[in-house]
Amino acid sequence: MISVIILSAGNSARMNGINKQLAEISGKPVFIMSALAFDECPKVGEIIIAAPSGECKRYEDLAKSYGLKKFSCVVEGGNSRFQSMKNALGKVGKNADFIAFHDGARPLISKGDIEKVFADAEEYGAAIAAVRAVDTVKISGGDGFIEKTPDRSRLFYAQTPQVFKRDMFLSCLEKLGNKAENVTDDSLIPELCGEKVRLTEISHCNMKITRSEDLTAAKAIFDSEKKSGAR
C-alpha cells in the first residue's frame, strides 16, 4: 500500500495575496485537484494532507466535500517543507509499504505519470518524477561569472510525486538527524545516505504554481487538455 502525503502548507508568498492551494481550476481547489489524481490510483491506500497553520478544519471539509475516497486526515504544516513532511509522516498508516510526497501546487499531474513513478519506486525502492532540462544551465563561481557549464543531456528538473520505500526513507531520516532540516527536495534525504533514486521521466505537464501568472497558465493548459480529450 502507498501512503500519499499532499504538501499544501506553503504561504503562497509570491501569489499577490492569493492562496494558491485554494485557488480554483475547473471549479476545484488546486490542492484538491492534486489529491484527486492520486485518489483514482488503485495502489494508493490513504491520502494525508498537510495544511497551513489554523486551516486544518477548512481543508478537511473541502477534502470531504469533493469526495476524496482515500482521504485519511489533515495535519498542520510547519514553517518549512521538512517540518510539514515530518508532521504528516506521524500519521502514515502501519500498512504502508511506500510513502509518496506530492506538492499540492502541482494540480496537473496525470494518473499515467503517477503510475509510472509508482512502478519505478516498487522496482528500485525510490523514484521521483522528473523532466529533462531544456535550457543550458550555468554554474556560478560566486562572483557573478560562469564557472562551469554542465552537460545538459544529463540534467533533469526534479518534480513530484517522489516515492520511497517506507523503511528505507525513515531509516535515512533517522541517520541524518538535524542535517535533514534544511532539505528542500525529499529525494535528497535518501541521496545523502547513499541510496539510489530513480529518475522517472514523465510526459504530461506537471508545472508547479508559484506565481499568479502560473495559475492562469495552469487553467489554460487544463482547459486545452480537456478539450483535446487528454483529461
Q: φ, ψ for residue 217 (rounded to 5)?
A: -65, -40
Look at residue 166 in the predicted model and tell me its pLDDT. 97
Look at residue 10 in the predicted model and tell me its pLDDT. 73
Give CA–CA dist 137/152, Å, rounded: 7
pLDDT at position 118 over 70: yes
Q: Between the ranges 23-27, 45-49, 76-80, where is the mean pLDDT highest? A: 45-49
Give the list of residues 6+ apart from residue 139 with CB closer than 8 angstroms, or none: 146, 147, 148, 149, 150
Which CATH number applies to 2-129+158-228? 3.90.550.10
Res. 222 pLDDT band, cuts 50 70 90: confident
Q: Is 98 exposed, middle or buried (0-12, 13-18, 19+ CB in 10 A)?
A: buried
Tens of pLDDT along 148-179?
A: 999 999 999 999 999 999 999 999 999 999 88
* Percentage of the residues of the chain whose pLDDT score is greater than 90: 81
pTM score above 0.85: yes
Look at residue 200 in the predicted model and tell me its pLDDT. 98
Look at residue 12 in the predicted model and tell me its pLDDT. 60
Amino acid at the residue 217: A
Look at residue 63 in the predicted model and tell me its pLDDT. 96
Tens of pLDDT along 78-108?
A: 888 999 999 999 999 999 999 999 999 999 9
Tens of pLDDT along 201-211?
A: 998 899 999 98
Res. 67 pLDDT band, cuts 50 70 90: very high
Amino acid at the residue 193: C
Q: Helix, strand or coil for residue 25?
A: strand
Give CA–CA dist 17/50, Å, rounded: 20
> Read out DSSP for the chain?
-EEEEEE-----TTSTT--TTTSEETTEEHHHHHHHHHHT-TTEEEEEEEE-TT-HHHHHHHHHHTT-TTEEEEEE--SSHHHHHHHHHTT--TT-SEEEEEETT-TT--HHHHHHHHHHHHHHSEEEEEEE--S---EE-SSSSEEE---GGG-EEEEEEEEEEHHHHHHHHHHHGGGGTT-SSTTHHHHHTT---EEEE--S------SHHHHHHHHHHHHHHHHHT--
* Percentage of the residues of the chain whose pLDDT score is greater than 70: 95
Stronger pLDDT, 226 or 70, i.e. the higher one: 70
Q: Which of 109, 112, 76, 104 is nearest to 91 (CA)?
A: 76
Look at residue 62 in the predicted model and tell me its pLDDT. 96
Query: Mean pLDDT, the chain, as a whole number?
Result: 93
What would the mean pLDDT of 31-54 be, rounded to a whole number? 96
Look at residue 37 in the predicted model and tell me its pLDDT. 96
